[in-house]
Amino acid sequence: MRHAFFVSVCLGGAIALSACEKKADADVERAIKTVNVIDESNLNDVMLAAADPDEAVTYFQRTAADNPDRIDVQRGLAKSLVRAQKPSEAAIAWGRVNSMPGSTDDDRVEYADALIRTSNWDKAEAELNKVPPTYETFKRYRLEAMIADSNKQWDKADSFYETAVGLTTKPSGVLNNWGYSKLTRGAYSEAEKLFFEALRYDPNMFTAKNNIVLARGAQRNYELPIVSMTQVERAQLLHTLALAAIKQGDVTIGRGLLQEAVDTHPQYFEAAERSLRALDQSATN
């Protein structure tokens, strides 16, 4: 009887021990899986921030194929495609993210951004209209301003640009866009002020410098702005100003500016030389 009891106890102990071992194995597997997810999340961040854009796309494509239901991986793929300047593929990827459980208003704004990059303005506007008005971010209002611009809804565009500027500490890009919007409307003086403001936040922004010259040229003001510029930039701005003068019919001034651009550039300035030759040939004919 004692023997039977001993066997029963041993069997019970063995079963309990086996159950404990299984539970321990499951706990270990869960712990390892958790660590892997953490490590993978860190790797995702590294790939988005530091990796070569094309390498990041390859990584996320492979990871997304293995984890099709993980929205963070699909989101990483969409972001990496934007970074790699593949807008059409990025738009498809962001559309996939927005169809998944757990998608956010931020994902929809990113989807609208990708659609704008493919010039799909109507669909981008439709997506932004799905974002609640309480969701107020710099990117949302910047995109709203761009869409209003494309629709020539100038008052709305100005309102959205102004709101976007107030929601970022680095408004140079949106100020430049706002200025260009004013430039296309013929509000040259207002545009010039916005370009100067953009340079106040980013003195090295050559696009804003070039846009100032365009705004001045449209007003028949052929003086270069007093901003910091390299010798190469000065030559390029003179070239832009020359073309603006010729477009206005001030050909003699334009020719002088072209010659100054050629003389100013520290190397051979092919574009200005070509413009100068074309102008001389036109005068001869």
Residue among 129, 201, 145 at smallest CA distance from 168: 201
Q: CA dihedral in degrees (140, 143, 149, 152; nearest 10)?
A: -60
Q: Has residue 174 got a pLDDT over 50?
A: yes
* Domain contains 58: no
pLDDT given at position 283: 67
* 248-283 b/e (C-beta count within 10 Å ≥ 16 → b): eebeebbbebbbbbbebbeeebeebeebbeebeeee
| Biggest alpha carbon–alpha carbon distance for the chain | 125
Residue type at 170? K
User: Which band of pLDDT confidence, cut at 50, 70 and 90, is reported for residue 22?
Assistant: low
Residue with the two structure tokens 């001389």: 280
Q: Has residue 214 got a pLDDT over 60?
A: yes
Reported as a single tens digit per residue, the pLDDT across 116-148 is 999 999 999 999 999 999 999 999 999 999 999
64-68, 81-85, 248-252, 278-282: range with lowest mean pLDDT: 278-282
> Residues 198, 176: one domain?
yes
> Residues 84, 145: one domain?
no
Last residue of a domain, which of 92, 108, 132? 132
> Residues 177, 215: one domain?
yes
The CATH number of residue 176's host domain is 1.25.40.10
* Domain contains 197: yes
Please state the domain count of the chain: 3
Q: Which domain holds residue 173?
A: 136-221
First to last CA, the chain: 125
* 220-232 b/e (C-beta count within 10 Å ≥ 16 → b): ebbebbebebeee
Last residue of a domain, which of 178, 205, 221? 221
* Domain contains 5: no
